[in-house]
Amino acid sequence: MDNIFFTLLAFIFTIALLVAIHEFGHFWVARKLDVKVLRFSIGFGKPLLRFNGKKDNTEFVIASIPLGGYVKMLDEREGEVAKEEYHREFNQKSVYSRFAIVFAGPFVNFLFAVFAFWLMFIIGIQGVIPIMGQLDHQSLAWESGLRNGDQIISVNGKETPTFTSVYEELLGGFIARKSVDLQLSDQRRLVLHLEKIEKDVEPSQLKEVIGLSVKFPLEKVIIGEVNADSPAFSAGIQAGDQVLAIDEQQIDHWRDLVRSIINKPDKKINIKVLRNEKVIIFSVIIGHFKQGSKTIGRIGVRPKSVTPLPESMFTQHQYGIFSAIPKSIEKTWDLSILTITMLGKIIIGEASIKNISGPITIAEVAGQSAQMGWESFLRFLAIVSLSLGVINLLPIPMLDGGHLLFYLIEMIKGSPVSEMMQEFGVKIGVMLLAMLMSVALYNDFMRLLG
């Protein structure tokens, strides 16, 4: 119950913060351009808290449904406007002023993403050093020339001090289905052919498909518990058995065992164990279960103990106040391009619509990232903020991008788009947004039920 409450709290905080930032962009520019703001609302529905500001008696509202917000400006299309305030009406401003007001919302989302990444880089990025552990000989990683003990120091020329940074850089190549260049600590350069990955593979499966693995410290992998009616129980494996190898692959850490099993649902493997100083080999048919959209293998065993990762496996990568600025701008730019590319792939059918997430998934990730610490939560806030910026710039009526499209047309033709055309665009926009939200919610519920 506590975890659910924390997740809900993190979700509400995230949405409220990012909506407030987005709407503040509209609000601030509108005031600078002398447009009268009637209401600034975070959320929809019944107001929970409201007060009036000194300037223009603007009403500030926090409403009951925290899934959006709006800035209501003086507009003759929504009510009568006094003659003395006619010049402050939104629709009476030049097309360039209206463009600036609308564009300010998404723009501030990008600025906040830069700020969040900047703060994250100053606090410092902690992660596992990308030194390879046991690699599957059938994996793309092995095929590229990577071997046990190799350390990746850059991908396509970009520094990768942690495993997380390695995967972030690989994600761009994966979405574009292009090969990437790896540089290792021993000065070797390798090519990882991501274009060989099948089109129906989702980004969440990238780690398993490529086959990179962490070099874990050596430990005895001893079974602590075997579930009744599990594949391991049926094969004869018992608590106290020490796992030596799976299909001739040496197992030196519990995580090696997990990695050897989760990617092989329903397949037969041979597990070599040590029991009472005797080596025994068991044939096990791996079971399966759904984890989100993925099918995961399992055999029904738990470890006796797992050795914590030593501090020597981690690195703290930190930037100064000024050196973090270009780094944060670069990060925001790269992830924005990645988001646009991913949306394009979904639209043309080269990527699965399963990659679209809704509020339930965002809530789960918000809670998880908040529990993992400031670095993780700042990264999450930055990614969601720039995603909101990108989505709002899509040329869909009802979104900021749809209004900007109309204003661009007005700039070119010298007169506003007809009201009939705008109304038609709004109807199309509502339909597209309803379809998008339906897909997102469907994916959320399928992940939960999966």
Q: Say how far apart CA 397 and CA 403 lie, in whole Å.
A: 6
Q: Say how far apart CA 190 and CA 183 lie, in whole Å.
A: 6
Contacts of residue 414, Cβ cutoff 8 Å, sequence gap at least 6: none
Q: Which class for 29: exposed (0-12), middle (13-18), buried (19 or more C-beta within 10 A)? A: buried
> Cα 259 from chain centroid?
23
Name 428's bridge partners. none
Tokens of 102: 């609308």
Q: Where are the alpha helices (DSSP H) in 156-230?
A: 163-176, 206-210
Q: Say how far apart CA 21 and CA 23 lie, in whole Å.
A: 6
Task: Please identify every residue annotated as catalytic.
Answer: 23
Of 341, 356, 312, 64, the closest CA to residue 202 belongs to 356
**Collapsed DSSP state (helix, strand, coil) of residue 283:** strand
Q: Do 136 and 208 contact (CB within 8 A), yes or no?
A: no
Q: Encode burial over 93-116: b for 16+ CB neighbours within 10 A, e otherwise.
A: bebebbbbbbbbbbbbbbbbbbbb
Q: Which class for 261: exposed (0-12), middle (13-18), buried (19 or more C-beta within 10 A)? A: buried
Q: Report CA dihedral (316, 317, 322, 327) to the nearest 10 degrees.
A: -150
